[in-house]
Amino acid sequence: MFLSKNPRNRKSNLRLVVNRDAKFTNFVEFRTHKVIYRRYAGLFFSVCVDMTDNELAYLECIHLFVEILDHFFSNVCELDLVFNFHKVYLILDEFILAGELQETSKRAIIERMSELEKLE
């Protein structure tokens, strides 16, 4: 998984995804990487990966992420992500490690998050 520190890269990546017509695929080549994105209502979720990574696996990863967010925030919206960003990062940490998918079981992730919430 790739996260650019350069604001110009993030802006051009954003424009690339948002301005794209809905009839096109959810995969875009961006310089030496691929951007995989999915739109849920008004929210765009995107992942920038190496050219050799499996697009469908990361598209499924985005879907899993949104399902888990929906479980915790009951129909997730932008405000949930902004005001609870620490929980969003906790969820990401549960199934992505060092940029690679670690856990794909929704049940296992939700159980682990429930354990972490009990500690708070």
pLDDT, position 2: 43
* pLDDT of residue 4 exceeding 70: no
Choose among 109, 96, 20, 110: nearest CA to 58. Answer: 96
Tell me if 105 is assigned to some domain.
yes
Residue 1 is assigned to a structural domain of this protein: no
Q: The pTM is what?
A: 0.77
Q: What are phi and psi of 31, to 5 degrees?
A: 55, -115
Share of the chain above pLDDT 90, in %: 11
Q: Is the pLDDT of residue 55 over 50?
A: yes
Q: What is the number of structural domains in the chain?
A: 1
Q: What is the pLDDT confidence band of residue 15, given thresholds at 50, 70 and 90?
A: low
- Tell me the mean pLDDT in the region 20-25: 69
Q: What integer pLDDT is reported at residue 3 of this predicted model? A: 47
pLDDT band of residue 18 (cuts 50, 70, 90) is low
Which tokens sit at 112? 């682990």
CATH of the domain at 27: 3.30.450.60
Structural domain including 14 reads: 7-119
Element (H, E) at 115: helix 106-119
Query: Residue 25 and residue 27: Cα distance in Å, rounded?
Result: 5
- Whether 2 is in a domain gets the answer no
Is pLDDT of 83 > 90?
yes
Q: Is the pLDDT of residue 5 over 80?
A: no
pLDDT of residue 25 exceeding 90, the answer is no
| Alpha carbon separation from 98 to 18, 79, 94 (Å, rounded) | 27, 27, 11
Does a structural domain hold residue 54?
yes
Residue type, 70: D
